[in-house]
Amino acid sequence: MNPATFGDAKEVFSRIHKVALKYPDVRLLICPPSLYIMPLASLRTKERTLTLGAQDTDWRDEGAHTGNISSRMIKNAGAIGVIIGHSERRAEGEDDEIINKKIARALRENLMVVFCFGERERDDDGHYLRILREQITVGLMKIPQSALKNILFAYEPVWAIGKEGERAINPHVLHEMVIFVRKVISELYPSYQTAHVRILYGGSVSPENAGTLLKEGNVNGLLVGHKSLEIDDFTDIIITTHNHVAR
The secondary structure of residue 229, as a DSSP letter, is G
pLDDT the model gives residue 163? 64
pLDDT band at 246; cut points 50, 70, 90: confident
pLDDT band at 124; cut points 50, 70, 90: confident
Of 11, 17, 47, 86, catalytic: 86
How far apart are the C-alpha atoms of 51 and 38, rounded to whole Å?
A: 12
Please indicate, yes or no, whether the overall pTM of this predicted structure exceeds 0.85.
yes
Give mean pLDDT, residues 220-237: 96
Please report the domains of the chain, with CATH numbers, ordered by start residue. Answer: 6-20+29-43+50-57+67-246 (3.20.20.70)
Is residue 156 part of the annotated active site? The answer reads yes
pLDDT band at 219; cut points 50, 70, 90: very high
Torsion angles phi and psi, residue 109, rounded to 5: -90, 10
Of 156, 208, 226, 244, catalytic: 156
pLDDT band at 91; cut points 50, 70, 90: very high
Give mean pLDDT, residues 203-208: 96
Give mean pLDDT, residues 179-201: 96
pLDDT the model gives residue 214? 97
Q: Which long-range contacts (CB under 8 A, 24 or more apart) does 178-181 make?
A: 178/217, 178/218, 178/219, 180/129, 180/132, 181/132, 181/136, 181/153, 181/155
Residue 247 has pLDDT above 90, yes or no: no
Q: Using one digit for the tens of pLDDT, what is the confidence trace for 141-163?
A: 999 999 999 999 999 999 999 86
Cβ neighbours, 10 Å, residue 143: 19
* Top-confidence residue, 124 or 57: 57
Give mean pLDDT, residues 172-186: 97
Q: Using one digit for the tens of pLDDT, what is the confidence trace for 27-43?
A: 999 999 999 999 999 99
pLDDT the model gives residue 166? 72
* Burial (CB count within 10 angstroms: exposed 0-12, middle 13-18, buried 19+), residue 37: buried
Average predicted confidence (pLDDT) for the chain: 95
Lowest model confidence (mean pLDDT) among 45-54, 152-161, 210-219, 238-247: 45-54
Give mean pLDDT, residues 222-231: 96
How far apart are the C-alpha atoms of 240 and 238, rounded to whole Å?
A: 5
Give mean pLDDT, residues 160-169: 80
How far apart are the C-alpha atoms of 247 and 240, rounded to whole Å?
A: 11
Torsion angles phi and psi, residue 126, rounded to 5: 80, 20
Give mean pLDDT, residues 90-96: 97
pLDDT the model gives residue 225? 94
Is residue 230 part of the annotated active site? The answer reads no
Q: Which amino acid is at 168?
A: A
